[in-house]
């Protein structure tokens, strides 16, 4: 079954009550996450409140810390609307007038929705896990935020495409090669409104903007034998099929090939992959109709990367402006994307050249120190996990220095989750034992821990992982 229906009726009732709370508020503060999903969620909340004529502010956070909790608890606004964050730390909030539209695994100390705080007020906690819906692939933070936006006013359906970008940005389309569950309903809204076109295609990253040889070279998960990670192999592949890499002086891109050229390439790639891997390489891709392909915003995966290039480098505001359709922000976003590309590529080389990747029995790990930004180390870990450098059948744990200790990012393949792995609980439990904090999703999670406890932390993580998947 592709996604469960969960308790949608109860969620609908909770959304209606939360929408009333927004209507009753004069002032609202939005707090959202810095990644693609968080920025999309923030943009949806921002435009929803603007359309309601509400006085509001928006701020971006890397994570929920004690300071963020304190600031939310003491905010003077009538309502604080927390998007794509907050569920993991629910028991720490003590204010009334709190709306959370998130999809992270909720705080086990308080898993409910619409919790009444000791006769003090109501927390509107709208999280898929409260309704039997999986938050790691059925709906994202932007999706939950969109559902509330649509509850406030059905004409907000023109914001659905932003929730599609959030879902793709969180890799929610990766295990079925398409969006499923509530994401599929939201995708339906975006398609009906004319904002998204569903296309069957190869699902590798960069189909609109990566030069064709690089598009093939960086293909992964699944890798194409003789082509992925093999620049010479890519050139030969194109040469044999009679596909020119350049058109005049300009590099050609995957979606810029003729229909016939693409078909020839697809036939050959399918042959090289074999039937089983081909299943994973092809699937749905989502085109954002309002942008030309050359902008890097025409493909939803590339759009999400543009947002990550902003938010993960302290410039979430530019991402927000892009989501709001501010054309002037595109140039800055383009510069951010070039920087992001450089940082990722140097981070991967740094880890490879210094042989930082270490293997244990149940996990593999690397410590990037100050060589990789803490906000990007999770992306790098995910890329390594899907490359030939790594063992795919065990999780990867990554460390990077951060201002308040060591940032940890953990990623695993879904097969392990199917066998019982839950990285969210692993990160939360192990971090708390060593005096830190963490959480996230079953397949992707993170933590912050004290710098001198890394070895101990790894021992605990390994014990927890082995006990979960045995
Ligand atoms: O905080 P949030 O839920 O938005 O972030 C989820 C993170 O996990 C995203 O950065 C996403 O890219 C990452 N992820 C991943 N691999 C998956 C699922 C999610 O790297 N299979
Ligand atoms: O930072 P990274 O991309 O590795 O985060 C993976 C997931 O773990 C995200 O959903 C993030 O919100 C979550 N996380 C968390 N608590 C932390 C660090 C990360 O819930 N301390
Ligand atoms: Zn998210």
- The 10s digit of each residue's pLDDT in 10-51 is 999 999 999 999 999 999 999 999 999 999 999 999 999 999
**CA 416 vs CA 136, 218, 394: distances in Å:** 14, 24, 8
Centroid of ligand 1 to alpha carbon of 103 (angstroms): 11
pLDDT, position 5? 63
Closest Cα partner for 308 from 414, 433, 98, 166? 166
Task: Choose one of 441, 445, 447 to mutate for the ligand 1 pocket test, by most ligand atoms within 8 angstroms of C-beta.
Answer: 441
Q: Which residues contact 349 (CB under 8 A, 6 or more apart)?
A: none
- The 10s digit of each residue's pLDDT in 202-238 is 999 999 999 999 999 999 889 999 999 899 999 999 9
- The answer on pLDDT for 160 being more than 50 is yes
pLDDT, position 389? 85
- The answer on pLDDT for 3 being more than 60 is no
pLDDT, position 119? 43
Residues 123 and 90 sit within 8 Å (Cβ to Cβ): yes
Considering only CA atoms, which residue is closest to atom 11 of ligand 1? 170
Element (H, E) at 235: helix 231-240
Centroid of ligand 2 to alpha carbon of 254 (angstroms): 32
Q: Specify the domain boundaries for CATH 3.10.310.40 within the chain.
A: 354-469
CA–CA gap between residue 397 and residue 445 (Å, rounded):
10
- The answer on pLDDT for 110 being more than 90 is no
- The answer on pLDDT for 109 being more than 80 is no
CA–CA gap between residue 313 and residue 297 (Å, rounded):
19
- The 10s digit of each residue's pLDDT in 340-366 is 999 999 999 999 999 999 999 999 999
**pTM metric for this prediction:** 0.95
Residue 242: CB atoms within 10 A of its CB come to 8
- The answer on pLDDT for 115 being more than 60 is no
Report residue 396 CA to chain centroid gap.
17
CA–CA gap between residue 413 and residue 141 (Å, rounded):
21
Considering only CA atoms, which residue is closest to atom 10 of ligand 1? 170
- The answer on pLDDT for 112 being more than 90 is no
- The answer on pLDDT for 118 being more than 50 is no
CA–CA gap between residue 190 and residue 209 (Å, rounded):
23
CA–CA gap between residue 117 and residue 91 (Å, rounded):
10
**CA 415 vs CA 82, 138, 276: distances in Å:** 31, 17, 15
Reported in sequence order, the residue ranges of 320-392 that DSSP labels E, i.e. its strands, are 358-359, 364-367
Residue for token digits 């409910």?
A: 112
Name the 3-class secondary structure at 105: coil
Residue 171 CB less than 6 A away from ligand 1: yes
- Provide the pLDDT confidence category of residue 114 given band limits of 50, 70 and 90: low
Any idea which of 112-121, 188-197, 311-320 has the lowest mean pLDDT? 112-121
User: In residues, how long is the chain?
Assistant: 470
Considering only CA atoms, which residue is closest to atom 13 of ligand 2? 440
CA quadruple 245, 251, 253, 259: dihedral sign:
negative
Residue 95: phi, psi to the nearest 5? -100, 160
Closest Cα partner for 400 from 384, 383, 376? 376
- The 10s digit of each residue's pLDDT in 224-276 is 999 998 999 999 999 999 999 999 999 999 999 999 999 999 999 999 999 99
> Can you count the helices (H) and strands (E) in the chain?
16, 16
- The 10s digit of each residue's pLDDT in 373-426 is 999 999 999 999 988 889 999 999 999 999 999 999 999 998 899 999 999 999
Q: Specify the domain boundaries for CATH 3.90.1640.30 within the chain.
A: 8-195
**What's the whole-number mean pLDDT along residues 301-311?**
97
pLDDT, position 46? 98
Q: Helix 182-192 to helix 141-152 angle, to the nearest 10 degrees?
A: 60
Task: State the DSSP code for 350.
Answer: H
CA–CA gap between residue 206 and residue 210 (Å, rounded):
5
pLDDT, position 107? 81
- The answer on pLDDT for 120 being more than 90 is no
Is the link from the previous residue into 222 a cis peptide, with omega within 30 of 0? yes
**CATH code given to domain 8-195:** 3.90.1640.30
pLDDT, position 108? 76
Considering only CA atoms, which residue is closest to atom 20 of ligand 1? 382
- The answer on pLDDT for 4 being more than 90 is no
Nearest ligand 2 atom, CA 437: 21
Residues 214 and 230 sit within 8 Å (Cβ to Cβ): no
Q: How far apart are the first and last CA of the chain?
A: 25
**What's the whole-number mean pLDDT along residues 102-115?**
75
Give the chain's radius of gyration (CA, Å): 22
Q: Which residues contact 43 (CB under 8 A, 6 or more apart)?
A: 159, 162, 320, 323, 324
CA–CA gap between residue 380 and residue 147 (Å, rounded):
31
Closest Cα partner for 337 from 370, 302, 368? 302
Residue for token digits 């960086």?
A: 218
Considering only CA atoms, which residue is closest to atom 3 of ligand 2? 378
- The 10s digit of each residue's pLDDT in 50-84 is 999 999 999 999 999 999 999 999 999 999 999 99
Tokens of residue 287, six digits: 């085109």
Fold topology of 354-469? Diaminopimelate Epimerase; Chain A, domain 1 (3.10.310)
Residues 46 and 102 sit within 8 Å (Cβ to Cβ): no
Q: Which residues contact 348 (CB under 8 A, 6 or more apart)?
A: 380, 383, 384
Task: Choose one of 33, 34, 35, 180 to mutate for the ligand 1 pocket test, by most ligand atoms within 8 angstroms of C-beta.
Answer: 35
pLDDT, position 202? 98
Q: Using a pLDDT cut of 70, give the percent of the chain over it.
A: 96
* Ion ligand 3 residues within 5 Å by Cβ: 37, 84, 140-141, 170
């Amino acid at each position: 079954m592709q996604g469960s229906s969960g308790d949608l009726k109860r969620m609908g009732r909770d959304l209606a009550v939360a929408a009333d709370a927004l209507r009753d508020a004069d002032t609202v503060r939005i707090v959202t996450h810095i990644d693609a999903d968080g920025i999309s969620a923030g943009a949806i909340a921002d435009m929803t409140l603007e359309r309601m004529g509400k006085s509001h502010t928006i701020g971006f956070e890397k994570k929920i810390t004690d300071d963020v909790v304190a600031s939310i608890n003491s905010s003077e606004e009538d309502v604080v609307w927390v998007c794509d964050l907050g569920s993991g730390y629910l028991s720490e909030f003590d204010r009334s007038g709190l709306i959370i539209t998130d999809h992270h695994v909720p705080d086990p100390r308080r898993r409910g929705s619409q919790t009444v705080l000791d006769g003090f007020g109501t927390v509107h906690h709208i999280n898929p896990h409260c309704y039997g819906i999986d938050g790691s692939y059925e709906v994202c933070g932007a999706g939950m935020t969109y559902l509330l936006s649509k509850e406030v006013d059905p004409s907000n359906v023109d914001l659905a495409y932003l929730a599609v970008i959030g879902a793709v940005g969180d890799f929610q389309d990766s295990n079925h090669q398409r969006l499923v569950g509530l994401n599929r309903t939201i995708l339906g809204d975006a398609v009906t409104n004319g904002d998204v076109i569903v296309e069957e295609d190869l699902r590798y990253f960069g189909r609109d903007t990566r030069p064709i040889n690089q598009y093939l070279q960086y293909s992964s998960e699944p890798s194409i034998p003789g082509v992925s990670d093999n620049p010479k192999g890519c050139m030969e592949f194109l040469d044999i099929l009679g596909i020119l890499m350049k058109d005049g002086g300009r590099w050609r891109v995957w979606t810029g090939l003729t229909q016939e050229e693409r078909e020839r390439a697809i036939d050959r790639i399918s042959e090289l992959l074999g039937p089983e891997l081909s299943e994973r390489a092809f699937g749905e891709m989502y085109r954002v109709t309002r942008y030309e392909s050359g902008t890097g915003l025409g493909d939803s995966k590339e759009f999400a990367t543009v947002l990550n290039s902003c938010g993960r480098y302290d410039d979430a505001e530019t991402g927000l402006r892009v989501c709001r359709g501010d054309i002037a922000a595109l140039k800055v976003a383009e510069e951010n994307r070039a920087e992001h590309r450089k940082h990722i590529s140097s981070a991967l080389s740094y880890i490879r050249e210094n042989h930082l990747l270490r293997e244990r029995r149940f996990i593999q790990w690397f410590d990037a120190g100050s060589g990789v930004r803490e906000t990007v180390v999770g992306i790098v870990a995910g890329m390594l996990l899907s490359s030939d450098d790594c063992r795919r059948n065990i999780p990867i744990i990554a460390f990077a220095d951060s201002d308040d200790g060591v940032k940890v990012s953990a990623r695993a393949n879904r097969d392990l989750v199917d066998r019982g792995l839950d990285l969210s609980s692993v990160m939360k439990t192990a971090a708390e034992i060593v005096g830190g904090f963490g959480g996230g999703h079953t397949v992707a999670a993170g933590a912050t821990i004290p710098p001198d406890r890394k070895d101990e932390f790894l021992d605990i993580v390994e014990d927890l992982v082995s006990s979960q998947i045995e």
